[in-house]
Structures are given as C-alpha cells and as structure tokens.
Structure 1
C-alpha cells in the first residue's frame, strides 16, 4: 500500500467521509489496525487492543461478539463435510481413526480462522463507522 492511500484513509477518518471497505477487510484479516495497516489489532489471541500503538486509532468500540465464532463454525463445517464424505467412501478407515483425524483438522482450521474473522469484523465495523467508530459529532446524532 502506498503513502497516498494511507493519507487518503487518514483524511477520511478525520472528515467523516466514507472509508474504503476492501483495505479495511484485508487489514482486519491480517490482524492489523484497519486505519493504518501497520499496528497490531490484537493484544492477545482474541482480545482487541483499546487503541492502535502506531496511529492511536481507538479500537475499543468494536462489537464483534459471537460473529467470528459463528463464521468459523460455518466455514469449518462446510469444509469438513466433503473431507468426511470422501474419506469415508474412498478409504473406509475405522470410524475412530476418521473421527480423530477430522477432529484434529477441524480444531486446527478453527483456531486459524477465529482471530482472522474477528479482525475482519472489526475492519467492517471501522469502515462502515459502526458502534462508535464514527466521528464524535456523528455519534451524538446517532443517539
């Protein structure tokens, strides 16, 4: 990302103009600050920082709640069904072997996707100015 795009995003953040959604989604997926793209979004595995240490954007407004868990279950479930079907019909393993292998794969995919989906949802909220990410003058109008 070049400096002009970062400057445009900072200007949009200050003036209340529309923020670009795609860069915010990508930055959230990478677990980076949706405004600057360089600061870490997460303080720990799933805890979002109160503010970005690089650009000082306030992030405590986010309300991801159960959305990341729902999306993770949805994606992992849809990925595991074909594995289960083809694994059972082609290889015919012992049911406990199939269950053990697919459980480990499902947990690994779920642990990989969960923080990324949380970052993605924080990026959407930031880009759409949801849940307190709007400038202070717009926040008072929304109440």
Structure 2
C-alpha cells in the first residue's frame, strides 16, 4: 500500500501517531521511525533512511549534528563517575589498571549510546516540526 503525502488524512489512518513526546522519543531510542514506530530509522550505523518505507516520512532533512555525541558523553560520564569513585576507593589499583578498565568501558558505552541518541534527536526534531518536519499530533477528542 503506497502512501501519498498529498493527503495527510489518508496517511494518518495507515499508522498510529505517538500519543506523547515521550512515546515519540522512545521510538527514536529504539531506532524506529518516530511517526509510525514500525520501520527502521537507520540504513547503516548512523545513516538514517531518506524516507520511512512504512509511512513515507521524509527523514532526509534531519539535522542531528553533534547533539547525539554530547548526549552520549553526558550519560557515559554520569554513569561512569560512581564506577570510577568505587574503583579508586575500594581497590588498590594502579593508574594503568584503572585506565585499562575505564577507557574500554567508556568507549563501549559511547558507541552503544550513539545510535539510540541520534534516533532520539531525530524524534525530537520530528515531534517539534524542526528542520523540514511537519508538526503532527494525535487529535484530542472533543470534550
């Protein structure tokens, strides 16, 4: 079934829009399309698809830039700080042993967080209608 972007009402019936910003963000973290939540958001490690094959959302205009890396650094730093403090205070490790534990752990965490962070940033941009995305929301039922 092909979806036409000329008729947004017809396109909305084919998929469920997220009900909240948190739901859209979670779809991005799971590396799924923020609009439909079905199709993959990335065709390669950090290269998003141009258009969603399920709902025809044009993703090519996204501008995640460096924000996913900053998010990864921020989260990694905050998660590793207690680990570093515990290693330094509880064990008598040399500086080289500490570096041998902390640096690989930090690199693995950063690599693991990079793609979900980029998906979340793309979902943030879609939800707010930034960088060529159209702001779409679930219609509230009349009171």
TM range, smaller chain? 0.7 to 0.9
Please name the residue that 1:97 is paired with: 97
What TM-score results when the alignment is normalised by the length of structure 2?
Answer: 0.79
Distance 2:77 2:20 in 1: 31
Aligned equivalents of 1:77 and 1:20: distance in 2? Answer: 29
Bigger helix share: 1
Question: Which residue of structure 2 lines up, in the alignment, with residue 128 of structure 1?
Answer: 128
Deviations along 1:89-132, whole A, 9 cap, x unmatched? 10111211111111111111111111101000100111111110
Q: How does 1:1-143 map to 2 (within 5 A)?
A: 10=12, 20-134=20-134
State the 1:72 CA deviation: 0.7
C-alpha contact (below 8 Å) 1:10/1:35 kept by paired residues: no
How far apart, CA to CA, are the structure 1 residues paired with 2:27 and 2:48?
Answer: 14
Once the two structures are superposed, what CA deviation does each residue of 1:20-63 show, in whole Å capped at 9, x if it has no partner?
31221010000000111010001111111111112111101111
**Cα contact 1:21–1:128 (8 A) shared by 2:** no
Q: Which runs of 5+ in 2 are unaligned?
A: 1-8, 136-143
Which secondary structure does the structure 2 equivalent of 1:47 belong to? coil
For the 8 Å contact 1:29–1:116, the answer to whether it is kept is: yes
By how many angstroms is 1:82 displaced? 1.5
Q: Deviations over 1:69-102 (max 9, x none)?
A: 1111111112222111110110111211111111
RMSD of aligned alpha carbons? 2.2
